[in-house]
């Protein structure tokens, strides 16, 4: 924990945190009751462990535009937006109409539909990709992209960055937020499993690198020369608040991937179609070999996709004779002598998800909405920063396009090691304070707000003014 300015004493933070948590409990008895019941039916009382937080999660009943309502009838300005799924906002009328049509006309065929072509063509256009495949989540997208990279290169290892989250399959559920005592040296982080139940052997295939440290990445690649199938990176690290790439970092990652014959995969599950029309790829002007998409492309309907260079993606049709690095395909990666990479899934490209994707990408998140989303986010960040400055809070406001947060640590975070210094108690006090006054942020300091085309400046001003009240009480 970093020390806080003298004006913020720890007792005060704890006092406000406890008072606000008590108020949260008093306002949400129905959620508490539902959580008790849910715990008897589901571990932690939730469907995904990310949904669980103390004392209990809010249970929701409905949501429209930029607002969401809990089981006690409390309404919130929603800034969580389903962990960043909803750049289109809740139930956008265009999306609602497209889905209603689909629901009335069959939601799953396992035969292809024309909407799938339209959506694939749209993704190609936005991301400069040659070929696209659909899945049902971000997890599936990164899992499949890694398999494609392995098939293409004939290699097995994957580089991921410490603090990065790429879904819940074994290759990537490693070094998400490792405990300090296990994480190893800063320039050569150890691979630390983020779950029980993972075979230890999986740790040999995932190599962990520090984000924003090109020199360390270069050394790691040198130490694993000829073995790295893919470098998987979230261009802005959004699992530790908001941590943008330092100038030149992504460019250097691109160069190193090329030099080492590794497939560069941008995990654009959060950045894609949110940061810009063409995601982080367009925003930073760095072209990866593959991208992974999910979340916002479906406007709230489960979907995933990966896309990229034709040469790489076509391993789904046929493996190359030799790898990009010029070595023969390693037999170890082709069990049973398979001649292509399997990419499968009952729900892939289902009519409901495809209709949602087409509506969102071609009719809602069109190119003209991005300047407005960026302007709103910049204004919100400036508002939060002015509060931080006025009251000397230990922190700073930051955004990357329509996604941002207040990082409760005085120094700029450039990687996971810096993030560990975040003041969790101060963050918690602010979360409950804001929730009790109708402003809902994601329930964790590692996530961030996502603005949608249905938010307004007036709503965001309300957030800033409530945050100001919080800061003022905190430093009183």
Ligand X SMILES: Cc1ncc(COP(=O)(O)O)c(C=O)c1O
Residues that bind ligand X (CB under 6 A): 83, 137-139, 142, 165-167, 234, 238, 267, 269-270, 294
**Of 89, 139, 164, 137, the residue nearest 450 (C-alpha):** 89
Residue closer to ligand X by CB (options 80, 234) is 234
Q: Are 304 and 345 in contact (CB under 8 A)?
A: no
Phi, psi for residue 230 in degrees, rounded to 5: -150, 150
Assess whether the previous peptide bond of 47 is cis (omega < 30° from 0).
no
Is the CB of 209 or the CB of 387 nearer to ligand X? 209
Shortest separation between residue 332's beta carbon and ligand X, angstroms: 27
Q: To the nearest whole angstrom, how small is the minimum distance from the Cβ of residue 275 to ligand X?
A: 12
Nearest to 138 by CA among 83, 198, 75: 83
- Which is closer to ligand X, CB of 142 or CB of 281? 142
**Closer Cβ to ligand X, 238 or 416, answer by number:** 238
Residues ≥6 apart with Cβ < 8 Å to 386: 464
* Closest distance of CB 150 from ligand X, Å: 18
Q: Distances from the Cα of 295 to the Cαs of 99, 306, 389, in angstroms?
A: 17, 12, 34
The three-state secondary structure class of 209 is strand
Q: Name the minimum Å distance from CB 73 to ligand X.
A: 29
Tokens of 305: 């996709």
Taking the complex as a whole, how short is the minimal distance between the CB of residue 228 and ligand X, in angstroms? 20
Shortest Å, Cβ 85 to ligand X: 8
Given a contact cutoff of 8 angstroms between Cβ atoms, the answer to whether 144 and 135 are in contact is: yes
- Cβ burial of 2 (10 Å; 0-12, 13-18, 19+) is middle
- Beta strands of 227-360 (E only): which ranges? 228-233, 263-267, 290-293, 304-308
C-beta nearest to ligand X: residue? 138
Tell me whether residue 294 or residue 373 sits nearer to ligand X (CB atom).
Answer: 294
Give me the least distance between CB of 369 and ligand X, in Å please: 22
Q: Which is nearer to ligand X, 95 or 426 (CB)?
A: 95
> Residue 294 or 313: which CB sits closer to ligand X?
294
């Amino acid at each position: 924990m970093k020390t806080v300015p003298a004006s913020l004493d720890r007792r005060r933070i704890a006092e406000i945190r406890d008072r606000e948590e008590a108020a949260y409990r008093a306002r949400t008895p129905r959620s508490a009751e539902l959580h008790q019941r849910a715990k008897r039916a589901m571990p932690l009382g939730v469907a995904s462990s990310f949904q669980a937080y103390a004392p209990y999660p809010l249970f929701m009943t409905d949501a429209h535009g930029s607002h969401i309502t809990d089981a006690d009838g409390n309404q919130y300005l929603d800034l969580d937006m389903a962990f960043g799924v909803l750049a289109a906002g809740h139930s956008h009328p265009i999306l609602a109409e497209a889905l209603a049509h689909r629901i009335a006309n069959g939601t799953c065929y396992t035969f292809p539909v024309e909407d799938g072509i339209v959506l694939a063509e749209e993704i190609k256009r936005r991301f400069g990709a040659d070929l696209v495949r659909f899945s049902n989540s971000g997890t599936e997208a990164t899992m499949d992209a890694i398999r494609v990279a392995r098939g293409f290169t004939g290699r097995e290892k994957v580089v991921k960055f410490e603090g990065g989250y790429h879904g819940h399959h074994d290759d990537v559920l490693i070094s998400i937020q490792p405990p300090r005592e296990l994480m190893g040296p800063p320039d050569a982080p150890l691979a630390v499993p983020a779950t029980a139940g993972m075979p230890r052997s999986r740790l040999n295939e995932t190599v962990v690198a520090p984000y924003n440290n090109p020199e360390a990445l270069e050394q790691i690649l040198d130490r694993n020369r000829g073995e790295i199938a893919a470098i998987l990176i979230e261009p802005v690290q959004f699992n530790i608040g908001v941590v943008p790439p330092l100038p030149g970092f992504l460019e250097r990652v691109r160069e190193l991937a090329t030099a080492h014959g590794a497939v560069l995969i941008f995990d654009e599950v959060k950045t894609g179609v949110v940061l810009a029309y063409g995601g982080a790829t367009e925003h930073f002007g760095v072209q990866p070999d593959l991208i992974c998409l999910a979340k916002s492309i479906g406007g709230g309907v489960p979907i995933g996709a990966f896309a990229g260079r034709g040469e790489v993606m076509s391993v789904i049709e046929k493996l190359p004779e030799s790898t990009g690095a010029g070595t023969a395909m390693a037999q170890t990666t082709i069990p049973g002598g398979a001649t292509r990479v399997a990419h499968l899934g009952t729900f892939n490209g289902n009519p409901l998800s495809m209709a949602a994707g087409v509506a969102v990408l071609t009719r809602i998140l069109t190119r003209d909405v991005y300047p407005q989303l960026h302007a709103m986010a910049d204004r919100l960040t400036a508002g939060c920063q002015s509060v931080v400055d006025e009251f000397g809070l230990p922190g700073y406001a930051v955004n990357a396009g329509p996604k941002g947060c207040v990082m409760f640590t005085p120094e700029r975070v450039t990687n996971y090691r810096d993030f560990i210094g975040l003041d969790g108690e101060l963050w918690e006090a602010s979360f409950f304070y804001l929730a009790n006054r109708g402003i809902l942020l994601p329930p964790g300091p590692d996530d961030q707000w996502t603005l949608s085309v249905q938010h307004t400046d007036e709503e965001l001003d309300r957030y800033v003014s409530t945050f100001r009240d919080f800061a003022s009480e905190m430093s009183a």
